[in-house]
Structure 1
Amino acid sequence: MLLECCIFGMITFLMTGARCEVTEVFAEAGSEAILPCKYDPTSLVPPAVKWSKANKGTVWRKQRSGLQYWGSSWTVNGTPRVKCPHSLFEKGDYGLQINNVNEEDGGVYSCSVEAGGREVENVVYLRIMTVSIDPPVPIWGKDVSVTCNVTPWPNGASVQWLLNNRPFVPQTRITSYRDTSKSIVREKATVSLKGKWTCVVGFKGKEEHVSATLSVKGIIQPPNDNTKVYAAVGSGVTLPCVFSPGLTPNLPVWKKAGSLFKPAPGHPPLSYSSSSQLPWDKSASLKEVGFKDEGRYTCSGTIQGQILTRTIQLVVAKIESSITSKKKGSMALTCQLSDTSEVTNYEWVHVTYDLNGTQSVESVQKGKILNISQESEANRGEWVCRFSGKEGILGNVTYHVQLMSGVSGQKVTDVSHNTATVVGLSFLLLVLLLILAQMYKNHQRRKRIFQYPALETIVHTISNEREERERSRVKT
Structure 2
Amino acid sequence: MNLNSVIMTLEYFIFVLTTFLMTGAQSEVTEVFAEAGSQAVLPCRYSSTSYDSPGILWIKTNKGTVWRKQKSGLQFWGSSWSQKGIQRVHCPHSQFERGDYSLQINSVREEDGGVYSCTVEGQGDEYMVMLRIIRVSISPSVPISGKDVSVTCDVTPGPQGPTVQWMLNDSPFLPQTGILETNGETFDSIVREKATARLTGNWTCVVGYKGKEGRASAALSVKGIIQPATDDTKVYAAVGSAVTLPCVFTPGLIPALPVWEKLQPVSHLKPAASRLPASFSPSSQSSQAPWDKSAILKEVGLKDEGRYRCSGTVQGQRLARNIQLIVATIDNSVPSKKKGAGTLTCQLSDTSEVTEYEWVHVTYDPSATQSFRSIQKGKTLSLNQVSEENWGEWACRFSGKEGNLGNITYHVQMMSGLSGQKSSGFSYTTAAVVGLSFLLLVLLLILAQLYKNHQRRKGIFQYPALETIVHTISNEREERERNPMKK
What is the TM-score normalised by the length of structure 1? 0.74
Match of 2:283 in 1: 273
Could you tell me which of 15, 22, 25 is aligned with 2:32? 25
State yes or no: 1:236 paired with 2:250: no
What is the alpha-carbon distance in structure 2 between the residues aligned to residue 315 and residue 101 of structure 1?
Answer: 53
Between 1:39-48 and 1:207-216, the stretch displaced more is 39-48
Q: How many residues are aligned here?
A: 409
Map 1:231-310 onto structure 2 (within 5 A).
231-257=237-263, 258-259=272-273, 271-274=281-284, 277-310=288-321
Q: In the alignment, is the contact (CA less than 8 A) between 2:118 and 2:126 conserved in 1?
A: yes
Match of 2:459 in 1: none
State yes or no: 1:206 paired with 2:212: yes
Q: CA deviation at 1:144?
A: 1.3
Deviations 1:12-40 (A, max 9, x none): 78983242223222211111122223345
* Amino acid in the other structure paired with 2:318: I
Between 1:391-400 and 1:221-230, the stretch displaced more is 391-400
Change (3 A) 1:37 1:334: closer
Q: In the alignment, is the contact (CA less than 8 A) between 1:377 and 1:403 conserved in 2?
A: no
What is the alpha-carbon distance in structure 2 between the residues aligned to residue 43 and residue 366 of structure 1?
Answer: 74
Match of 2:463 in 1: none
* Amino acid in the other structure paired with 1:383: W
State yes or no: 1:195 paired with 2:195: no
What is the alpha-carbon distance in structure 2 between the residues aligned to residue 348 and residue 46 of structure 1?
Answer: 76
Task: State percent identity of aligned pairs.
Answer: 64
Could you tell me which of 330, 354, 360 is aligned with 1:319? 330
Match of 1:75 in 2: 82
Q: What SS does the aligned partner of 2:38 have?
A: coil
Could you tell me which of 92, 98, 102 is aligned with 2:99? 92
What is the alpha-carbon distance in structure 2 between the residues aligned to residue 17 and residue 260 of structure 1?
Answer: 89
Map 1:406-445 onto structure 2 (within 5 A).
408=422
Deviations 1:296-328 (A, max 9, x none): 001112222212211111111222344543244
What is the alpha-carbon distance in structure 2 between the residues aligned to residue 296 and residue 56 of structure 1?
Answer: 65
CA RMSD in angstroms comes to 3.7
Between 1:221-230 and 1:82-91, the stretch displaced more is 82-91
Match of 1:266 in 2: none
Q: In the alignment, is the contact (CA less than 8 A) between 2:32 and 2:212 conserved in 1?
A: no
Q: In the alignment, is the contact (CA less than 8 A) between 2:281 and 2:295 conserved in 1?
A: no
Between 1:139-148 and 1:209-218, the stretch displaced more is 209-218
What is the alpha-carbon distance in structure 1 between the residues aligned to residue 389 and residue 130 of structure 2?
Answer: 82
Q: In the alignment, is the contact (CA less than 8 A) between 1:13 and 1:121 conserved in 2?
A: no
Could you tell me which of 166, 172, 175 is aligned with 2:171? 166
Change (3 A) 1:322 1:70: closer
Q: In the alignment, is the contact (CA less than 8 A) between 2:306 and 2:326 conserved in 1?
A: yes
Q: In the alignment, is the contact (CA less than 8 A) between 1:23 and 1:125 conserved in 2?
A: yes
State yes or no: 1:139 paired with 2:144: yes
Structure 2: which 5+ runs fail to align?
1-15, 264-271, 455-487
Q: CA deviation at 1:231?
A: 0.7
Q: CA deviation at 1:137?
A: 2.2
What is the alpha-carbon distance in structure 1 between the residues aligned to residue 290 and residue 198 of structure 2?
Answer: 25
